[in-house]
Chains A and B, each alone.
Chain A
Amino acid sequence: GQNIDQPTEMTATEGAIVQINCTYQTSGFNGLFWYQQHAGEAPTFLSYNVLDGLEEKGRFSSFLSRSKGYSYLLLKELQMKDSASYHCAVRDSNYQLIWGAGTKLIIKP
């Protein structure tokens, strides 16, 4: 079966750095996405990785290792507005997105 694993919840301090890990086992691989979702709102796109390595976009970076079936999302200089759920999603061989259950990130002052 297809499976995406990420921690259920994480807590971090404002101004700090946090890394959210994602491991996946899917039927094929055609890219990995990270989405942010604030409570009661729609998911919004953060990053996309299809090749191994690090993609940096401002305070957010995403890393992919296809051989390990592993990705992480790195958030730097955390702000209170970063409190949200972060979803890892993998596009499988049928080009359908398989979603993890999401990681709820709580930022404390």
Chain B
Amino acid sequence: TAGITQAPTSQILAAGRSMTLRCTQDMRHNAMYWYRQDLGLGLRLIHYSNTAGTTGKGEVPDGYSVSRANTDDFPLTLASAVPSQTSVYFCASSDSGDGGTEAFFGQGTRLTVV
């Protein structure tokens, strides 16, 4: 099974350009999340969705937007990239938005904004 898939694996992006990071899961999980991981810091939540059709802001949402049109897909868009958005981005999903279920992570997208 594929689990959770992110694309692209890596990208170099010019500052000011827009980009969409794709995330697809085939586990029929209700909840999905976008995190960024920077050296020396814990994973920080950007946006989340507890179920299709709903989204919420995490700890660091500025400069990012998401949509959840269906259960499987949760794209993350950078409208106008800045160098501080250079990071590794992880998409994750879990069976529910609350409770004790574990989150499953995609392999990450390494984004460099120059």
Contacts and interface: CB of A to CB of B under 8 A. Distances in A.
Contacts of A99: 35, 42-44
A95 B45 CA distance: 12
A98 B105 CA distance: 16
B43 A87 contact: yes
Interface residues of B, number: 21
Given A42-B107, A42-B108, A43-B90, A48 B102 contact: yes
B100 A95 contact: no
B61 interface: no
Interface of B: 35, 40-45, 48, 58, 90, 97-100, 102-108
Interface of A: 4, 30-31, 33, 41-45, 48, 50, 87, 89, 91, 95-102
Given A42-B107, A45-B103, A99-B35, 12 more contacts: A4-B42, A31-B100, A42-B106, A44-B105, A45-B102, A50-B100, A87-B42, A96-B45, A96-B58, A97-B45, A99-B44, A101-B41
A97 B106 contact: no
A87 B35 CA distance: 14
B48 A33 contact: no
Nearest to B91: A42
27 contacts: A30-B98, A30-B99, A42-B105, A42-B106, A42-B107, A42-B108, A43-B43, A43-B90, A43-B105, A44-B105, A48-B100, A87-B42, A87-B43, A89-B43, A91-B100, A95-B98, A95-B99, A96-B45, A96-B48, A96-B58, A97-B43, A97-B45, A97-B103, A99-B42, A99-B43, A99-B44, A102-B42
